[in-house]
Amino acid sequence: MKLRTGFLAIVFAAGSVVATDVRAAGDPAEAATARTLAAIRNQPLALEAFLRDMPKGGDLHNHFTGSIYAESYMRWAVEDQMCVVIATYTLASGPCDAAAGRLPASAVMQNSTLYNETIDAWSMRNWPPRINGHLHFFQAFGRFGAIPRVRDGDMLAEITSRAAAEHVSYLELMMTPDGGVAARLGHEAGWPGGTPGPSEFSQLRQKLLASEWGEVLERAKQRLDAAEARRREVLKCGSSAADAGCLVTVRYISQVARAAPPEEVFAQILAGFELSSNEPRIVGLNLVQPEDDPVAVRDFSLTASCRPRCSGFTSASRSAAATRRESVTAWTSCRKTTRMACSGRWRPGRSWSRSRSPATI
């Protein structure tokens, strides 16, 4: 059956999924598809398969670390001889010390109770209603955040392979391309005197650009090059056994940690504009972390006013990329909704899977 994307709208009400089809106007293929949807809308497994096979285009808001299955993180932790701090189910580098509650990941893997509790802590699977979902959601990122950057390529391979299986052909992944160099330079520079305000933006910008700023672009390029090389290796790109994920086009969005000190936030925003002007694979920037974080709330106006000060020196190519993304925002929003519909219930994350790590909507 030929599927078309224009007929489906998924909405959420009181934690449940309600599917509404727009009646096809005389198109037999669309009418047949609508009938199929109506027949399976209360069958979660059939609905999942239906939506998985639906043709899609691009996924434009996709958190890099939040798009990985928690089981994959655990497998890599075992291979890399990492530890799990049992008190908080937080991943940590070695050496491990079982007596101090830092169990080897391999030991956690062999204990079904600890293993399942850790997977739940790293995802929205089995999220207990008595626990604040918003808090659990954002805390999960910190629990698996110690996964080493050498795994970037394995992560990229998993993401693109799954995207291809779901008929997604284009991804924009949010990450910190420079590995935190800009934030460090912002910290070292400090705010140029007094209470942080817009009057110091130009001074701070000049101070940052006069520092070791070239390292921001250099580190970003190195990280993306290494990750993409590993992705090609894992997916066997260029061979007769190549995974379909090799054909997925990937671009990146430089993320900004909005709850950081203002000088670090400014440096990250500056880096986002500079990177998207000088590295073709990076097409924009996006603020991350909870919007209701006390620091983010306190600095909201300052952060909003600093972005125009940075954007004046961006390239026309970035503006074109932004225009392209904005033109499909509504379509992408619908596509995100269909992804969550597969679970049969609302979850405060993008994942329809049982244990995929959370990524914000």
What is the DSSP secondary structure assignment for residue 178, as one 8-state letter? T
User: Domain extents for the chain?
Assistant: 8-56, 81-147, 150-327
Collapsing DSSP to helix, strand or coil, 281 comes out as coil
The structure tokens listed for 300 are 């909201």
Phi and psi (nearest 5°) for 159?
Answer: -65, -45
pTM: 0.77
The structure tokens listed for 203 are 């001074």
Between the alpha carbon of residue 72 and those of residues 67, 147, 155, the distances in Å are 11, 11, 9
Question: If we measure between CA atoms, which residue out of 360, 352, 361 comes closest to residue 69?
Answer: 352
* E strand or H helix that includes residue 298: helix 294-298
Q: What pLDDT is attached to residue 192? A: 87
| DSSP secondary structure, 199-263, as one string | GGHHHHHHHHHTSSTHHHHHHHHHHHHHHHHHHHHHTTTTSTT--GGGG-EEEEEEEEETTS-HH
Question: If we measure between CA atoms, which residue out of 220, 71, 93, 67 comes closest to residue 157?
Answer: 67
Q: What pLDDT is attached to residue 25? A: 52
What pLDDT tens digit does each residue of the chain (361 aa) get?
A: 333 333 333 333 333 333 444 444 568 888 898 999 999 999 999 999 998 888 888 998 899 999 999 999 999 999 999 999 999 999 999 899 999 999 999 999 999 999 999 999 999 998 878 888 888 889 999 999 999 999 999 999 999 999 999 999 999 999 999 999 999 999 999 998 777 777 888 899 999 999 999 999 999 999 999 999 999 999 999 999 999 999 999 999 999 999 999 999 999 999 999 999 999 999 999 999 999 999 999 999 888 887 655 654 433 333 434 433 433 332 333 233 333 222 222 222 232 233 455 543 3
Give CA–CA dist 324/170, Å, rounded: 13
Give CA–CA dist 123/140, Å, rounded: 6
Which residues is 8 bridged to in the sheet? 21
- Residue 54 burial (C-beta neighbours within 10 Å; 0-12, 13-18, 19+): middle
Q: What pLDDT is attached to residue 76? A: 97
CA 60 to chain centre: 10
Identify how many contiguous H helices and E strands the chain contains and give both numbers. 15, 9
Give CA–CA dist 213/31, Å, rounded: 57
Q: Amino acid identity, residue 66?
A: G
Q: How many CA atoms lie within 13 A of 4 on its CB side?
A: 15
Q: What pLDDT is attached to residue 305? A: 82
Between the alpha carbon of residue 350 and those of residues 52, 66, 89, 302, the distances in Å are 14, 9, 22, 29
